Homo-oligomer: A and B are copies of this chain.
């Protein structure tokens, strides 16, 4: 249930890895601003660097502290993700409360058993059909529309994040895999940013996300290789090399895909960021959109190759 994160075999390697990465990237950013602290404070890269430092802490400690902290971390992601989603698609208050409430079921269900996890969506879909009736006064003649958006939101934000819980709990060395996935997604983002800035020429999906380039996508995959590779050599993995070779492209592509999905939602509802949750963060959804797609892709990839 609860473990002391300081005695985890993953603690020291992860600490060394994160400290090293943060140090090296801070130096690189300092070089890029020619060691001017005024420009450092204005730099978008430094802003992002701080975000990553916080994410590293916020994700690592629960992961190393056992089942209940991990459950709380993932549930908090779903909670905040659904809050931003309901605001984004303008769900009425009654629907929003119900949807966010049902989001709390996902990770506990995954921790009980995979069967419970796969049992949830049909049951909620069936009982969800009652929403337009019980929330009739609030639905203003659009109950089915709200039901459709609630169902999509629960599946896309809540249930797909739940796959991270399945990986953590049921894959062999699930905790290390989850750490590696988060790491690879993070560096995939950095890779896309860097390669895109340096070599970006060909637009990837100009109508949905005008800043994305095909070159950036290659950066995504490279970044995922670097992120996964760094963890691979740090953590006590007993996995075949195929993981190291085949998983990063899945993660890199999934990361871009997840990004595009969220861009499509934001564009349709004419919002720039999903929320204003933490300064510099944008919405939480903007940070975890990649994990939403990467989680289930990795889960099924592992099922298939094992």
- Which A residues lie at the B interface, using CB under 8 A? 89, 118-119, 121-123, 125-126, 129-130, 132-133, 136, 141-145, 147-149, 151-152, 155-156, 159-160, 163, 205, 207-208, 257, 260-261, 264-265, 268-269, 293, 296-297, 300
Residues of the B chain whose Cβ atoms lie less than 8 Å from the Cβ of A123: 296, 300
- A205→B133 contact, CB < 8 A: yes
Partner of A133, one of B129, B136, B155, B260: B260
Extra 10 A-B pairs, beta carbons < 8 Å, given A141-B268, A145-B145:
A122-B159, A122-B163, A129-B293, A130-B257, A132-B268, A133-B208, A144-B268, A145-B148, A148-B149, A148-B152
Given contacts A132-B268, A143-B268, A264-B144, contact A155 B257 (CB under 8 A): no
In the complex formed, the residue of B with least CB distance to A142 is B268
> With a CB–CB cut-off of 8 A, which chain B residues contact A260?
133
Query: Closest CB of chain B to A301's CB: distance in Å?
Result: 12
Q: Are B133 and A264 in contact (CB under 8 A)?
A: yes
Minimal Cβ-Cβ distance residue in B for A118: B118
On chain B, the residues within 8 Å of A89 by CB distance are 144
Chain B nearest CB from A281 CB (Å) reads 23
* Nearest chain B CB to A146 CB, angstrom units: 10
27 contacts between A and B (CB under 8 A): A89-B144, A118-B118, A119-B300, A121-B121, A121-B155, A122-B159, A122-B163, A123-B296, A123-B300, A125-B155, A125-B156, A126-B160, A126-B293, A126-B296, A129-B156, A129-B257, A129-B293, A133-B260, A136-B207, A144-B152, A144-B264, A144-B268, A145-B145, A145-B148, A148-B149, A151-B151, A152-B152
B122 touches A268 (CB 8 A): no
- Name the prevailing secondary structure of the A interface residues: helix
A284 CB to nearest B CB, Å: 18
Q: What B residues does A133 contact at CB under 8 A? A: 205, 208, 260, 264
Q: Which residue of B lies closest to A130 (CB)?
A: B257
Q: Which of B129, B152, B156, B293 contacts A261 (CB 8 A)?
A: B129
A129 / chain B contacts, CB cutoff of 8 Å: 156, 257, 261, 264, 293
**Would A265 and B144 count as touching, CB distance under 8 A?**
yes
CB contacts (< 8 Å) of A297 on chain B: these are 126
